[in-house]
Amino acid sequence: MKLPIIYSDKHKLHAPPLEIYDDLKEEYSEKPERIEAIHKKLTEEHFGEFISPLEFPEEVIKSMHHRAYVDFLSTRSRNLKEGEVLYPSYFITDTYIAVTPGTYTAAVESVNIALTGAQKVLNGEKLVYSLCRPPGHHAEERSMGGYCFFNNASIAADMMSKKGRVAILDIDFHHGNGTQNMFYERSDVLYVSIHADPALKYPYKTGYLDEVGKGIGLGFNKNYPLPLETGDAEYLPVLRRALQEVQSFNPDYIVLSAGFDTYEKDPIGGFKLTVPFYEAIGQEIKALNISTLVVQEGGYAVDALGDMARNLLKGLSFTS
Ligand code: SP5
Ligand code: ZN
């Protein structure tokens, strides 16, 4: 039985050249080579079976994102001429995300990748990897930000929540402000995140310990902010504690928002996790024995992404 990996090359339609940060223009870190590096490594190692995503109606996106935002992105992206780049001022939470003519198509395809994976898990697959790009966990109901346009993991988790209890475990280096917000007042989906202290790193505004959910959602949001320089040895006990939270929620499904920007050499991150440690992360999660959809988020050290992805999936695999 081969691991289903949902992949599409349409992400290449979104490839802005530059990001703007504190008045500085730099190479856009969230680039197509990221996903291509993972695709290449997993292909070379015959790790899994690549499957093209199905198409889902735009209404599924609009069930989690405000239609004014979806329509804005759709119109503005598709009205751009080839080579044009827009740095939007509306429906955005930062200054550096860029919209190109292919951005909307790529962002919709990324959601399709997550939803196709979700459907496979609902149909009984124990582990599926949705190789999403652009990433999603910073996208809020009405805004893009942090290289994210639509919240792939949240849209998938919402769909899965109609069939069972869903826990989202977010191990990207950055707090998933979009995902937290979307489920903050819900008790049927648990959000647990391990990330860099938001006092020091993006998204700055959320990810603190005292954000524990609201109303009926009280107690169903858990943040584990960690100091910069966190290494394998410090990360492991926190991961175990987070997994205890997941386990006591007794979920039918896990959606793993998987970012590799926790890696020691990531150009944007600031933790010190090593490449082999991603297998240990996978093993810890697998030990819960819960069907898992892995949704790709961040990770910018292109040369090491393939190894990290393979190690995480190896650890998660029931057949290995
Ligand atoms: C999905 C995800 O991981 N989003 C990350 C958002 C991080 N935002 C901070 C970007 C800082 C860009 N500066 C790059 C400096 C490298 N020279
Ligand atoms: Zn990140």
**Tens digit of pLDDT for each residue in 79-110?**
999 999 999 989 999 878 899 999 999 999 99
Question: Is the distance from CB of 294 to CB of 312 less than 8 angstroms?
Answer: yes
Average pLDDT over residues 241-258: 98
The mean pLDDT value for 302-310 works out to 98
- Ligand 1 center to 269 CA (angstroms): 8
What's the CA gap between 198 and 146, in Å, rounded? 13
Ligand 1 center–CA 287 separation, angstroms = 32
**Counting ligands in written order, which one lies closest to the CA of residue 19?**
1
- Residue 143 pLDDT greater than 80, yes or no: yes
pLDDT at 319: 64
With 60 as the cut, is the pLDDT of residue 135 above it? yes
Q: How far is CA 219 from CA 38, 191, 244, in A?
A: 36, 10, 14
Residues 6+ apart with CB under 8 A from 16: 28, 85, 98, 99, 100, 103
Of 124, 165, 130, whose CA–CA distance to 151 is shortest? 130
**Mean pLDDT for all residues in the chain:** 97
Q: Is 138 a catalytic residue?
A: yes
Residue 23: its pLDDT value, please? Answer: 76
Q: Whose CA is nearest to atom 14 of ligand 1?
A: 268
pTM across the whole model: 0.97
Once rounded to an integer, what is the mean pLDDT over residues 51-64?
A: 98
Nearest CA to ligand 1 atom 5: 146
Give the per-residue pLDDT at 320: 45
Q: Which of 11, 26, 27, 29 to mutate to test the pocket of ligand 1 (most atoms within 8 A of CB)?
A: 29
Residue 131 CA to ligand 2 centre (angstroms):
15
| Nearest listed ligand to the Cα of residue 263 | 2
Residue 55 has pLDDT above 50, yes or no: yes
Residue 182 has pLDDT above 60, yes or no: yes
Q: Please name every residue paired with 99 in a beta bridge, in sequence order, or none if there are none.
A: 86
CA of 194 relative to ligand 2 center, distance in Å? 11
Residue 81 DSSP SS3: coil
- The amino acid sitting at 213 is G
Q: Which of 138, 174, 175, 195 is catalytic?
A: 138
